[in-house]
Amino acid sequence: MSKKPSAIADIKAESAVKATDYALAPINAALSSTQRIELYRTMIRIRRFEERSLRAYQGKNPSGGTNIGGFLHLYIGQEAVAVGCCSLMGKNDHVITAYRDHGHAIAVGMDTKPLMAELYGKITGCSKGKGGSMHYFAPDKNFWGGHGIVGGQIPLGTGLAYALKYQGKKGAAMAFMGDGAVNQGAVHEAYNLASLWNLPVVFVIENNGYSMGTSQARSSAGQLAKRAEGYNMTWGQCDGHDVYEVRALMDKHLTLAREQSRPSTVEIDTYRYRGHSVADPDNTYRTKTEIEEYRNKKDPIQVSLHKLLAEGVLTETLADQIDAEARAEAESAAEFADASPYPTPDDIQKDVYWESDHPAQRKSEGRLFFD
Amino acid sequence: MPQITYREAIRHALAEELTRDPNVVVMGEEVAQFNGAYKVTDGLLATFGPTRIVDTPISEAGFIGLGVGASMLGIRPVMELMFWSFYSVAFDQILNNAANVRYMSGGQINCPIVIRGPANGGTNVGATHSHTPENVLANHPGVKVVVPATAYDAKGLLKSAIRDNDPVFFLENTILYGDKGEVPEAEYVIPLGKADIKRVGADLTIVTYGRCVIHSLKAAEVLEKDHGISVEVVDLRTIRPLDFDTVLASVKKTNRVLIVEEQKPFASVGTQLAYMIQREAFDDLDGPIHRLATIDAPAIYSPPVETEQLPNPGRVIKAVLAAMA
């Protein structure tokens, strides 16, 4: 990104501010200066966390191995979506998402140290090094993953909404998916059940234009969110580069879920600058020019920064300070991850069964594990 | 002690657990208004109402996945698959999500779901409806797999399954639904992972489970009467966790073993048992481990031939005589 560690330097002259100013929507107008800054801060914390994780992924550790194995699906460019949506969560609202989950995890309030440690495969990771990048979970933050199979989490998210309704709790589930997921059968089965049973769920399609390396035009017929109409669900669509716009739209849909127990679908247009995963060469299906266009004109952090400066909420000095803190936090998370121990072979068979982890309360008999 | 059917025993277990725990929900295709495709849930809607007994669309991936998600928030869904054969369309929900969510979350999330329904051949419904996936299911650490053979076992095991904090897959049998057995009126539970010696014998151990227990018991009577062979029948009841100690003790006593299972032979439950028996009782065996399984082809429709494709008392007798030769 920028050469010197200044958020201000990232601002391009053409940074777009939309004509429709969603900052005036009641849900945004009510935000205090501190709250506005926090939205910005969370976005930049996600960005710096992921940039740091990318360096760790690409670098070697001192023993010559890799710091991070497997896949690393970066959210860079999409931060306003998770931050906007999760900033609206109340105590009975729940989130579930797919494998591009770092942004959601930070947005619901997970500490970045165990998140980075999870990437490093350390026992101090949020899933004790058992899940990896795609499988972050924090039930104490109402965050239910982090799921690896495209669309497979959407029935689960619908089940969270079912549980809320069964338990008589006034809340909503947000079930996030990418644009590629809308073609999976499980998503459509979940749509049908949610609408049929009046479940308080918002299906959030983060449309970054590409299902892995296949563009929307080559993978999906029609407008993605409009498929909701076939299930008698309302739907909405917005620009996901402006955190205020995301919040304005999501607020309506969450209210529908919480107040009327009706599901709906939203399609939030966004863009990822990096490949589908870091392993993706990213030069076969889109142009560098296209990526630069988004970076220069629609970057959610720049859009937000520009607005906050214009609103007089943020000063250049404070913006630089927030960025420096986010970089320091990411560095500190990497140091924590680096210094943490790996799980041991003895840990492999822990956390498999509730019963084997609670031997004193075990009621079944016989062998649970085999060799 | 009253005699009730295997079907009624399962229904009684459901009713008792629905009464005991308000978080228990019964969900599946035709379980409510239709009173169950196989009438297992007959009358439950009238007793417990539509919030507890829920008809679903024909949408296994959707409703099983919904149950998995609900269980993460403390609901205890008991999901009926009209046939376990339909698990294939919900495979990702069952074996990626239910089986793995505890592990991948580092033990933070539990999935106390029960998925139950019949898993058997022998009803002339062709290959798509005749799968016996207990080996496939049990191959996934994190899940428990139960296959009851009698009314008594079905009731006691299902109650344990519903109270279990791990995902439990409960495989019933349409042919056994009408079989009657003695079931006490007083409440009881049978722990998962506890085998039951259904017949005591001295010459050969049959290790089996599900409907093959019934075949083996019939065969054992004939073998005793006509051939003077004393067969011990060990009913596993639960595939995972596995009560291997009971199997081992029996094999060490009889020194001969025949595994009988309604599975296709390749990588079946019996394959695992045979490995474990040779590993832990090699010196106790007077002969090779024998195994009788379903004849290795997709389930044939033709009614009289399907009977011969599956284990049956006649095939069990032949297999025992071969093992004793």
Interface test mutation site (partner A, options B51, B53, B104, B135, max chain A beta carbons within 10 A): B104
If you average pLDDT over residues A198-208, what whole number do you get? 98
- What mean pLDDT do residues B207-223 have? 98
The total number of structural domains in chain A stands at 1
In this prediction, residue A4 carries a pLDDT of 41
C-alpha B28/C-alpha B31 separation (Å) is 6
Is A370 part of any domain?
A: no
Is the pLDDT score of A52 beyond 70? yes
Q: Which of A282, A273, A209, A246 is nearest to A47 (CA)?
A: A273
What Rg value do the Cα atoms of chain A yield, rounded? 21
Q: Is residue A184 part of a domain?
A: yes
Output the six-digit token pair for A341: 């121990």
Min Cα separation A162/chain B (Å): 6
Nearest CA in chain B to A368: B241
In the predicted structure, residue A1 carries a pLDDT above the cut 70 = no
Q: A165 in a domain, yes or no? A: yes
Residue A64, pLDDT above cutoff 80 = no
* pLDDT for A8: 44
Residue contact A370–B272, C-beta within 8 A: yes
Contact A163, B68 (CB under 8 A): no
Q: Is the pLDDT of residue B52 over 50?
A: yes
Kindly state the helix (H) or strand (E) to which residue B50 belongs, with its residue range.
none
Contact B70, B101 (CB under 8 A): no
pLDDT in the model for residue B31: 98
Q: Of the candidates A128, A364, A368, which has its C-beta nearest B106's C-beta? A: A128
Sequence ranges of chain B with CATH classification 3.40.50.970: 3-182
Which of A185, A351, A366 is facing B102, going by the closest CB pair? A351
Name the band, by pLDDT with cuts 50, 70 and 90, for residue A2. very low
By annotation, the residues of B acting in catalysis are: 60, 129
Nearest CB partner across the interface for A366, out of B71, B242, B276: B242
- Kindly determine whether residue B62 and residue A127, on different chains, have CB atoms separated by under 8 Å: no
Residue A127 lies in a domain: yes
**Domain range for A319:** 8-361
In this predicted model, what pLDDT tens digit does every residue of B11-38 receive, in sequence order? Answer: 999 999 999 999 999 999 999 999 999 9
Give the pLDDT score at A20. Answer: 62
Question: Are B105 and A157 in contact (CB < 8 Å)?
Answer: no
CA Rg value for chain B: 19
Higher-pLDDT residue of A203 and A66 is A203
Neighboring chain A residues of B70 at a CB cutoff of 8 Å: 159-160, 162-163, 166
Task: State which H helix or E strand residue B239 sits in.
Answer: strand B238-240
The residue type found at A113 is K
In a domain, A341, yes or no: yes
DSSP string, A193-215: HHHHTT--EEEEEEE-SEETTEE
Smallest CA–CA separation between B99 and chain A, in Å?
9
Could you read off the pLDDT of A115-156 as tens digits, one per residue? 999 999 999 999 999 999 999 999 999 999 999 999 999 999
Give domain B196-324's CATH architecture.
Answer: 3-Layer(aba) Sandwich (3.40)
Which CATH number, 3.40.120.10, 3.40.50.2300, 3.40.50.970, 3.40.640.10, labels domain B3-182? 3.40.50.970
Verify whether the Cβ–Cβ distance A139 to B97 is below 8 Å.
no
pLDDT cut 70: percent of chain A above it: 95
pLDDT, position A370: 98
In a domain, residue A240? The reply is: yes
- Coil, strand, or helix at residue B63? helix
B302 has a pLDDT exceeding 70: yes
Instruction: For residue A8, give the nearest of A53, A44, A49 by alpha carbon.
Output: A44
- CATH number of the domain residue A48 falls in: 3.40.50.970
**Closest chain A residue by Cα to residue B99:** A352
A15-19, A266-270, B105-109: which has the minimum mean pLDDT? A15-19
Q: CA-nearest residue of chain B to A131?
A: B104
Average pLDDT over residues B275-291: 98
CA torsion A146-A147-A153-A156 (nearest 10°) is -70
Cβ contact B123:B130 at 8 Å: yes
Q: Establish, for the pair of chains A and B, how many residue pairs have beta carbons separated by less than 8 Å.
A: 194
Looking at the domain assignment, is residue A3 inside a domain?
Answer: no
Domain with CATH 3.40.50.920 in chain B: 196-324
Rounded-to-integer distance, Cα A144 and Cα A128, Å: 16
Q: What is residue B165's DSSP assignment?
A: S
ipTM for the predicted complex:
0.96
Instruction: Count CB neighbours of B143 within 10 A.
Output: 24
The reported pLDDT for the residue numbered B172 is: 98
